[in-house]
Structure 1
Amino acid sequence: MKKYLFILFTLFGCSLSFGQSFEGTWEGSLEIQGMELPLVFELKYDGEWKGTMQSPKQSKQKAPLSSIKASADSIFIEMKMIGLKYSGRLSPDKQAIDGIIQQGGLKAPMRMLKKDPATIVTDFPKVRSQKVNPPYSYDTLDVHFSNTAEKIKFAGTITKPKGEGRYPAVVLVNGSGPLDRNSAMYGHEPFKVLADYLTKQGIVVLRYDERGVGKSEGDFKTATSADLGKDALAAIKYLRTQSNVDPKKVGIIGHSEGGLIAFLLAGQRIAGLDYIVSLAGPAIRIDSLMILQNEALAKNSGTTIDTKQLAMIKRNYEISKSNLSTEKAFEAIMTNMKVIPGSQEADFADQIAVLITPWYRYFLKIDPTTFIRKIKVPVFAAYGGKDVQVNSTENLESLTDNLAKQPKNEIKLYPNLNHLMQPAKTGGIGEYPEIPISLDPELMKDIANWIKAL
């Protein structure tokens, strides 16, 4: 599934001689699966360090750094909410910082150069053909609702048609990774685009910042798919309280992990969930899905996974899914990876730590088919033929085989769409920010027509 690099840092100590040299605007760049990801940091010292970070290919947002510390020529930055860290050292001419950036399984060198803010492009330069800007032809309302069991308050936006009456309604559920209500990534805002389209078609839409993101409370790092499902339920419950919502037509549209959550909730026959729409939602065992994903990403980047590597990956997943303690699981994975030269080095250990996070260990255990077989509500499911993250062939076949037949169900393959449901050439992750379309118009039309026909 999709993973988004969004950065913030913590800096060690603070001496004015070197410390003030860290003030200013810094720009670095990473290569993630063939895609260049620029990062812009603004650091300021006024008795205490403050700063922001922007990932221009992902969002316009300048996110506040959780902590910054500087000592002599060293700096350390951290964003605790997303588990991201950067440590670096100032160059002798004080015009560059050479360091290491870490987040989850990523650990990579990154050099940042001091820049004149006027020379930095702080917004993604590609044209976005579906940009949604006010004034809107419908009503918008910023709202708050709570997952009362966990005492987490969420912030979101409801868009609704003008005028009296009751309308079909839907909650938008994000894919994996900490995402805001617009599902902002790579300069795209697909959930804002989708909400705009659906509301113009007479459908009420609620979209929300995930826990710990934007204006929502909570801690995303500790959440599993089950926790995120409970958050979606809280959103459904709140949406049903709106006076202009048809109480017999309230559903979920989920993308990727959000599509999986839609399957899981519908399979549990949750009261108040009248239909679901799954976009690139996994419909096979997740450990099998991840094997296919590894192979597809390797092929897309021009490489292959040999037999020995594949056996090692499968064994890692078995260990991750086991009931071993975190410490024992980590030790077992390290032992299993001895077939890779250098895998016992400390730096390599950081890269595989993601396999023992609560989210990943829970995620790998999920078998969607056990839930899909129990679904009774109408289902619209869409897969992209060029998706390298959720393979369309195996997932579409599994859903077709396991979902009970009923006339209102619609399962469709869109041959030229990628994992983000954009028209694509190769489907590779590196294409995501380059494509001007955020969400395929034909897909949105099909979703709206299907919902209105229920």
Structure 2
Amino acid sequence: MTRILIAVAMVGMSGPIAEDPGPPPGVGHWVGPLRIGPAELSMVLHVEQGEDGALSATLDSPDQGSFGLEVASISVQGRTLRFEIPTLDARFEGTLSEDGTTLSGTFTQRGQGFPLTMTRTAEEDLPRPVDPPEVLLGIWEGPIELPLGQTLRVALRVEPDEGRPGMRTIAFDSLDQDVRGIPVTAVEVDGETVRFEVKSIGGTFEGTFDEERSSISGTWSQSIMTMPLTLEKVEELSTRVRPQQPEPPFPYGVEELTFENPEAGITLAGTLTIPEGDGPFPAAVMVSGSGPQDRDETLLGHKPFWVIADHLAREGVAVLRFDDRGVGGSGGDFESATSEDFATDALAAVRFLRGRPGVDGEAVGIIGHSEGGIVGPIAATRAPGEVDFLVLLAGTGVTGKEIVLRQADLIVRASGVPESASKAQVDALGRMIALVESGREGGDEEEELRETVAGALDALDPGQREALEETQGGLAEAASRAGDQLRSPWFRFFLSYDPAPTLGAVDCPVLAIFGGKDMQVDPEQNAPRVEAALEEAGDDRSSVEVLPGLNHLFQHAETGAPLEYGGIEETFAPEALARISGWIRGVTGRE
């Protein structure tokens, strides 16, 4: 930390010498817990004052393995301290206590606020990276045994630390979820017993070495679940094969490009794949599902949009896939947008394609997955005659509220939670949604949210309830987080939006396909409503089909639960690919 040196000239002075006022309030090291979702993350703020009097700061998140993140701006006015980190879309505002020992306020990231109280801490007491015992040096891998026979491969990696001679680093990987390098925040070896904690995901492990110390058998605990896990010492991490991942050379053209959405005032970035040979070719715009997605809709090592684009280009159909606004190379703000905003992006892509050389401007459509199946019809009805066909992959036919409640019921049951607890959780979700829909704000609403969460906890057995309360930070914080999520602009729109009237107004042919084992958009709930709406639209080329055995990502699946996605080698079922390309070629006159 920079020291402030004050020199006082004594020559010719007869008055008293001014005392060193010391550093301004806020300078020092501050440590406190930030609870986000199930995780409690330690935050460490280092505030310094330079020789010119200006403040600077860095932020550590030791539980995420992040140290020295530069704070772009920091200020202290009176007892109020503020700082911003634009690279994280984060800011903090808090108040220093009268004695200068605590700093209490709100840490806001991507529009969501979290309470954060930090305590002034001596440098020697700051959190340090974990140094694991030498006996754990190496790679330990194994499957968490999930309910209903599912598995999830994870690994513990203990490796020499190149930056600290004689020390070691330790990290946790969730291999089937394609998440690597999660910091391990505590580790202990006591005789034959091994314990470690991964605070950022609310997970803990306790197990016992075998005689050769080549495996550790025990249990992994996370949220309310405790599951068997045996870690075997291996030479290297195993890998999941993605056999459908396209590899060069490609028998079609590939162009990286940008295009404008003038309505939103943003530039979007994407990739155009266009068949070789004489055009013009029919073309499709890919629109992703919910959450910030890149142009390939990358998930768990799978790149379904790339697989679809590769297949269609080989079948004579050009494809433009693009990063969501605010993602990758695309401008704009994702967090403040709703499905209606995303529809303007999709329509901008369609208009861009209609003017491209080699593209048949009278045969440009949209392929939308999940939420993209909502966005596509909105775009088509906003610009009649401009969208020539729609392919809806697991698109919805009922309101978001109905989707969320059915989805929660199916997924919670598939996770092995007892039926009584499953019903209580779904009922609690329904009450929270109704409360937010009522539009009431303030203390009464928060109290009702707490009571609703308490009711869901009461349905669990004591051990599960205690574990959930520990990882969720108590009723007040759980209710606050639930309210923040439910009140977000995207979720408010999604909850109340009924896609059926829009589907009934489209003026182009539609292919709507569903996976028979989809737990996120249940085909039994949605396919009949989509079919009825398309009958009202009156285009006899439209079709609604349920493909048996496929999940929400259109993979062949055992149960359809989301936990299976990463463990399945297949990215997109060949029969679904064939149906999409065959139908597009048919409705665009290429058959």
* 1:412–1:92 CA distance, 2 compared to 1 (3 A): closer
- 1:179, 1:32 → 2: CA distance? 27
Question: Match of 1:181, SS?
Answer: coil
- 2:570, 2:507 → 1: CA distance? 34
What residue is the counterpart of 1:304 in the other structure? Answer: 419
Partners of 1:259 and 1:282 within 8 A in 2: yes
* 1:87–1:358 CA distance, 2 compared to 1 (3 A): farther
Query: What residue identity is the alignment partner of 1:416?
Result: G
Show CA shifts across 1:104-131 (max 9, x none): xxxx3367xxxxxx9553xx72222212
Query: What residue identity is the alignment partner of 2:203?
Result: P
Q: 1:401 aligns with which of 514, 524, 532?
A: 532
Partners of 2:308 and 2:577 within 8 A in 1: yes
Measured after TM superposition, the shift of residue 427 of structure 1 is: 1.3
What residue is the counterpart of 1:145 in the other structure? Answer: 259
Partners of 1:266 and 1:273 within 8 A in 2: yes
- 1:220, 1:53 → 2: CA distance? 29
What residue is the counterpart of 2:106 in the other structure? Answer: none
Query: What residue identity is the alignment partner of 1:109?
Result: G
Question: Match of 1:260, SS?
Answer: helix
What residue is the counterpart of 1:431 in the other structure? Answer: 564
Measured after TM superposition, the shift of residue 438 of structure 1 is: 0.8
Q: How many residues align?
A: 411
Stretch moving more, 315-324 or 277-286? 315-324
What residue is the counterpart of 1:421 in the other structure? Answer: 554
- 2:443, 2:153 → 1: CA distance? 33
Higher strand share: 2
Stretch moving more, 180-189 or 259-268? 259-268
What residue is the counterpart of 1:358 in the other structure? Answer: 489
1:224 is the counterpart of 2:338: yes
Measured after TM superposition, the shift of residue 400 of structure 1 is: 1.4
* 1:30–1:327 CA distance, 2 compared to 1 (3 A): farther
- Counterparts of 1:167-316 in structure 2 under 5 Å? 167-302=281-416, 303-304=418-419, 308-316=424-432
Show CA shifts across 1:25-66 (max 9, x none): 9999999996637589999989xxxxx99865355x989xxx
Query: What residue identity is the alignment partner of 1:231?
Result: D
What residue is the counterpart of 1:156 in the other structure? Answer: 270
* 1:20–1:311 CA distance, 2 compared to 1 (3 A): closer
Partners of 1:330 and 1:356 within 8 A in 2: no
Stretch moving more, 181-190 or 142-151? 142-151
Partners of 1:268 and 1:374 within 8 A in 2: no
1:166 is the counterpart of 2:296: no
Show CA shifts across 1:127-180 (max 9, x none): 222121111000000011232333332221000012332110000111112221
1:412 is the counterpart of 2:545: yes
1:100 is the counterpart of 2:199: yes
Show CA shifts across 1:321-346 (max 9, x none): 34345887555433433323477534
Question: TM-score by structure 2 length?
Answer: 0.60
Question: Match of 2:335, SS?
Answer: helix
Partners of 1:278 and 1:382 within 8 A in 2: yes
Question: Match of 1:221, SS?
Answer: coil
Query: What residue identity is the alignment partner of 2:247?
Result: N
Stretch moving more, 418-427 or 262-271? 262-271
Show CA shifts across 1:76-100 (max 9, x none): xxxxxxxxxx99745589x997453
What residue is the counterpart of 1:371 in the other structure? Answer: 502
What residue is the counterpart of 2:96 in the other structure? Answer: none
Structure 1 vs Structure 2 CA RMSD: 4.0
- 1:398, 1:196 → 2: CA distance? 31
Question: Match of 2:434, SS?
Answer: helix
- 1:425, 1:146 → 2: CA distance? 42
What residue is the counterpart of 1:348 in the other structure? Answer: 478
Q: 2:579 aligns with which of 429, 433, 446?
A: 446
Question: Match of 2:419, SS?
Answer: coil
1:11 is the counterpart of 2:142: no
Q: Which structure has more RCO (C-alpha within 8 Å, separation ≥ 6)?
A: 1
- 1:35, 1:226 → 2: CA distance? 38
* 1:192–1:319 CA distance, 2 compared to 1 (3 A): same
Measured after TM superposition, the shift of residue 307 of structure 1 is: 5.5
- 2:131, 2:253 → 1: CA distance? 45
* 1:26–1:350 CA distance, 2 compared to 1 (3 A): farther
- 2:162, 2:381 → 1: CA distance? 51
- 1:323, 1:407 → 2: CA distance? 42
Question: Match of 1:345, SS?
Answer: helix
Query: What residue identity is the alignment partner of 1:375?
Result: V
- Counterparts of 1:119-134 in structure 2 under 5 Å? 121=237, 125-134=239-248
- 2:247, 2:304 → 1: CA distance? 13
What residue is the counterpart of 1:57 in the other structure? Answer: 176
Q: 1:336 aligns with which of 452, 455, 472?
A: 452
Segments of 5+ residues of structure 2 without an aligned counterpart are 1-37, 44-59, 69-122, 165-170, 206-233, 459-464
Q: Percent identity?
A: 31
Question: TM-score by structure 1 length?
Answer: 0.77
Partners of 1:159 and 1:204 within 8 A in 2: yes
What residue is the counterpart of 1:388 in the other structure? Answer: 519
Partners of 1:260 and 1:281 within 8 A in 2: yes
Partners of 1:158 and 1:206 within 8 A in 2: yes
- 1:259, 1:221 → 2: CA distance? 19
* 1:268–1:25 CA distance, 2 compared to 1 (3 A): farther
Partners of 1:40 and 1:55 within 8 A in 2: no
Partners of 2:523 and 2:546 within 8 A in 1: yes
Q: 2:203 aligns with which of 94, 97, 109?
A: 109
- 2:196, 2:324 → 1: CA distance? 33
Stretch moving more, 189-198 or 238-247? 238-247
Stretch moving more, 324-333 or 173-182? 324-333
- 2:318, 2:271 → 1: CA distance? 11
Partners of 1:132 and 1:196 within 8 A in 2: yes
Partners of 2:408 and 2:426 within 8 A in 1: no
Q: 1:317 aligns with which of 395, 413, 433?
A: 433
Partners of 2:397 and 2:526 within 8 A in 1: yes
1:136 is the counterpart of 2:230: no
What residue is the counterpart of 1:74 in the other structure? Answer: none
Question: Match of 1:316, SS?
Answer: helix
Partners of 1:382 and 1:412 within 8 A in 2: yes
Question: Match of 1:101, SS?
Answer: helix
- 1:58, 1:215 → 2: CA distance? 24
Stretch moving more, 10-19 or 279-288? 10-19
- 1:88, 1:149 → 2: CA distance? 46
Measured after TM superposition, the shift of residue 246 of structure 1 is: 0.8
* 1:419–1:144 CA distance, 2 compared to 1 (3 A): same
Stretch moving more, 153-162 or 213-222? 213-222
Measured after TM superposition, the shift of residue 311 of structure 1 is: 3.6
